[in-house]
Amino acid sequence: MNIFKQAEQVKAKADSTKRGNQVALKSTITVPCFKGLYRKGEPYTIKVKQGKKKIDVSVKPLTGAFILSYFTCLAACIVQDENAYREASNSTGLNEKPLEPVQLTSYLIEVLIASEGFCLDDYKQGKTQGAKRVESHLKAMKEQRDIDIVISDSVITGLNQDIVQAVLSAI
């Protein structure tokens, strides 16, 4: 399974079905970035094995903001590792043509979330879902947290290692 190819397929499908001003609803309210919002709703119990006994633990469901923040940072790590691999592969000179570096895109994040078993309802907001929801979340994160993230034609730049580590280590 190559998630980069899947992300390209999702992007191609989204580009073919775009309609004028329906890209994202202006009335959609963006959930604040991350702090304190990763659990919401009514708690439910799960059974966890502790030693030889199974105990009940009460948990709350994840919010869409948490899912988007976490998987954006996870995708940034995957892209960084893939680019390091491609750079090392290119330096050996064994490839017929050099491998192009991959970019972090909102479609890649959407595919990564889906590959982990989440559905659009888990992180959509109003009618905004998928890659457009990822982009609206990152734009809100940029405004609220003063982070230099740039989103241009679904390509996300400016997500540095400090941000990634802060989010991934928050759980």
pLDDT above 70 as % of the chain: 77
Spatial separation of the C-alpha atoms in residues 98 and 10, rounded to whole Å: 25
Q: Is the pTM of this model over 0.75?
A: no
Q: What is the mean pLDDT of residues 95-105?
A: 88
Q: What is the mean pLDDT of residues 58-71?
A: 74
pLDDT for 34 equals 34
Is 46 in contact with 59 (CB distance < 8 Å)? yes
pLDDT, tens digit (0-9, with 9 covering 90-100), for 104-140 = 999 999 998 888 877 787 777 888 778 888 888 888 8
* Phi, psi (rounded to 5 degrees) for 27: -85, -5
User: Nearest 5°: CA angle at 122, between 49 and 37?
Assistant: 75
**Domain ranges, ordered by start, for the chain:** 3-168
Q: Kindly indicate the confidence band of residue 16, based on its pLDDT and cuts at 50, 70 and 90.
A: low
CB under 8 Å to 107, separation ≥6 — which residues?
A: 7, 8, 10, 11, 14, 131, 154
Spatial separation of the C-alpha atoms in residues 171 and 62, rounded to whole Å: 11
Q: Where are the beta strands (DSSP E) in 76-117?
A: none
Q: What is the mean pLDDT of residues 66-92?
A: 88
Spatial separation of the C-alpha atoms in residues 152 and 103, rounded to whole Å: 12
* 83 vs 66, residue with greater confidence: 83
C-alpha count within 13 angstroms, C-beta hemisphere, residue 15: 10
User: What value does the mean pLDDT of the chain take?
Assistant: 76
Spatial separation of the C-alpha atoms in residues 58 and 42, rounded to whole Å: 10
Cβ atoms within 10 A of the Cβ of 68, count?
28
Q: Where are the beta strands (DSSP E) in the chain?
A: 44-50, 53-59, 150-152, 155-157
